[in-house]
Structure formats: structure tokens, C-alpha cells
Amino acid sequence: MQISPQMRILVAVEPADFRKGIDGLCRICRQALAADPFSGAVFVFRNRRATAIKILCYDGQGFWLCQKRLSVGCFRYWPGRDGTAQRELLSHQLQVLLCGGDPEATRAAPQWRKVVPAVSA
């Protein structure tokens, strides 16, 4: 599975029960995050102890479920609770998060800019 800049990445703010598999995480997507798991978006979940991350994504044929568990320590940063159940990240921010960093601290050029067609006089 490859994460591209065009993919929508949604991070669940609340920890998830990692005994859940694909079907259980799809239920969280629908109920807690109010998102369609079949949309092709990438959904990112963290366990309660912050030692593991699971990524769920539908590619048109089936679901990918990836897990990273740290052998030592925990993920120090996780998107805070600002009254929402989810946060949206950019692809480079997800890479920083997966390496144990703070994606809010990354400095990168804006991902997109609106293209306005030229107006002819």
C-alpha cells in the first residue's frame, strides 16, 4: 500500500480497541468518525497505551489493514481532542507520525493551491 499526497487521511483522536479487526474498525469509521470506510480514505487508529498504530484503507478490491507496534517506548504525539472525533492529516504528516514525531511541527510548503482560470477580456 502506498500513501499518496492525494489521499484523504483521517486520524481517530480517541484510542481504539486493537482486538478489533477490519469489520470492527469499519464500524468505528461509520459511527464515531462519521466517514465511509469504502471511500478510499486512509483511517489511522492508536491503541490506548500508544504503543501501536493501525491503518485501514479500502483500495476498490478489498481492505488493507496495516499495523506498526513499537518495540520500545510509545508514540509521544497524537492529535489532541479539540471537540472532534477525527483530525485530517497530509501524507507527509502521516509519515512523521509513523516515525514517532509530531506532524504539527513539520514545516512544508502548502499541499494545494486553488487554480483559477484566466479571465479573457
Cα–Cα distance, 98 to 76 (Å, whole number)? 11
Task: Determine whether 59 is exposed, middle or buried from the number of CB atoms within 10 Å of its CB (0-12, 13-18, 19+).
Answer: exposed
Cα–Cα distance, 99 to 70 (Å, whole number)? 10
State pTM to two decimals: 0.84
Residue 16: what pLDDT?
94
Let me know if residue 113 belongs to a domain. Answer: no
Cα–Cα distance, 32 to 22 (Å, whole number)? 15
19: Cβ contacts below 8 Å, ≥ 6 apart: none
Nearest to 86 by CA among 17, 20, 8, 18: 8
Let me know if residue 112 belongs to a domain. Answer: no
Let me know if residue 93 belongs to a domain. Answer: yes
Let me know if residue 24 belongs to a domain. Answer: yes
Residue 113: what pLDDT?
62
Let me know if residue 118 belongs to a domain. Answer: no
Let me know if residue 68 belongs to a domain. Answer: yes
The C-alpha cell at 94 is: 502521516
The parent domain of residue 54 ranges over 9-104
Question: Per the structure, how many domains does the chain have?
Answer: 1
Adjacent-strand bridge partners of 63:
58
Regions of the chain short of the pLDDT cut 70: 81-83, 110-115, 120-121
